[in-house]
Amino acid sequence: MTLPVTNRRLALVIGSGSVKCAAALGLWKVLQREGIALDMIVGCSGGSLYAAGIALGEDVDRFVASTLEMWTADVMSGYGSNLRAAMSREVAYTERSGLIDDTLVWERLCATYGEKSFADTRTPLAVVATDFYSGEKVVLREGRLADAVRASIAIPMIFPPWEVDGQLLTDGAVSDPLPVDVAIREGAHIILSMGFELSLRRRMRSFNAVQTHLNAIYMNNLLRASFAFYNAVHHAEIITVWPEFDEVISSFDVDKIPHIIAMGEKAAEEHVPYLKKLLQVG
Amino acid sequence: MDVVVYDERQATIIAVEGSIDALTADDFLQAMQAQISGGRTRLVADLSEVSYASSAGLRAILVALKESRQLGGDLRLAAVRKGVYRVLELSGFNSILKIYDDVETAVASYDEVAQA
């Protein structure tokens, strides 16, 4: 038997995927509606935004509104001109640089999470980032939530890395796009894994487009390789809640967030009967 | 989950109906191991009536795959539905397993081995 008779611990792991991670709000709606409680939550990159909200026990509808306010198009302001300046060496680009001024996103993270810390969460939370210099995965479990999320969403080259307790951190997706292993190590039996593959392009007409496409390929391959390993080694159950999107969704297609949430809800609903059976003890 | 086992030429078909998950994986594995321990190691899992598979189901497949191959046989999958194939694909299992469109083709793949 792969599951214990009693005390079946349920974890939710939300992986990286930029704006697609809003699908976690759809999953969260389903869990609330069905009265299914989580024992732990793990978030990585864009997934950490929602993992933190769920762990705090925020109101779903309020968090949907907060998401729409957070990811407006102006967050990406200056990307094109800064890219050109960095490529032509008009401006120096170092390991602490990014192509976007992160002032706005930091303000919005502070508006969303305020001064709340991991100690304020109702459900145990882990946020995954990556050590900028060594590439090792860093699991954050204490401190200010805004800092942890900011570090975890530091999309390489785009957002500057973020320093937490003297350690320079970048996007969690760089080391572990869907950190199911964190839930395994913490003793979860049933793991709801919500992962997202990056969309691939069919036509590329710029250096940046080719680079983005190739980045997406190796990020997707890293995701699948690590997920394959976790599936093979976990002693109990990993439920694959990966929404299948019916259209290409780019990293900052913020206008598609309502559709993304609906797709997350649909994907989660398909697993509810099985999940309820698993949670029935005896 | 229901399992029906029958022989087809030199292959043994394990036809499954339902889900292969944490609640059924042990039964599925036992059905395959009963064949392997009985010397029937050229297995074909007919998944045409399997609507759902999870990590626990995948690990049952992995165990039977290893045991059959260690004895010179194999576990091959046939008629995998789209949703189940997606789980196999995301977990990398499609790259280590031989998967066929239907049972007949999967059985025929063992004919080629027998003639070699």
A279 at B interface, C-beta within 8 A: no
Judge: B87–A234 Cβ closer than 8 Å, yes or no: no
Residues forming beta bridges with residue A167, ordered by sequence position: A164
The residue extents of the domains of chain B are 2-108
Least confident of A35-44, A69-78, A223-232, B64-73: A69-78
Position A118 scores a pLDDT of: 98
Judge: B19–A231 Cβ closer than 8 Å, yes or no: no
- Report which of B63, B2, B64, B77 is spatially closest to residue B35, judged by C-alpha positions: B64
Separation of alpha carbons B42 and A144, rounded Å:
57
Residues forming beta bridges with residue A138, ordered by sequence position: A129
Judge: A237–B91 Cβ closer than 8 Å, yes or no: no
Tens-digit pLDDT profile for residues B2-33 = 999 999 999 999 999 999 999 999 999 999 99
| Band of pLDDT at residue B114, cut at 50, 70 and 90 | low
A242 at B interface, C-beta within 8 A: yes
What CATH number was assigned to the domain covering residues B2-108?
Answer: 3.30.750.24
A221 at B interface, C-beta within 8 A: no
Q: Is A115 exposed, middle or buried (0-12, 13-18, 19+ CB in 10 A)?
A: exposed
Tens-digit pLDDT profile for residues B78-89 = 999 999 999 999
| Band of pLDDT at residue A2, cut at 50, 70 and 90 | low
Judge: B56–A277 Cβ closer than 8 Å, yes or no: no
Percent of chain B with pLDDT over 90: 92
Q: Using N-to-C axis directions, what is the helix angle for A23-34 and A46-56, rounded to 10°?
A: 30
A5 at B interface, C-beta within 8 A: no
Q: What is the ipTM of this complex?
A: 0.88
Entry pTM: 0.93
- Report which of B95, B115, B109 is spatially closest to residue B42, judged by C-alpha positions: B109
Closest-CA distance, A263 to chain B, in angstroms, reads 16
Report chain A residues whose CB lies below 8 A from the CB of B59. Answer: 231-232
Report chain A residues whose CB lies below 8 A from the CB of B62. Answer: 232
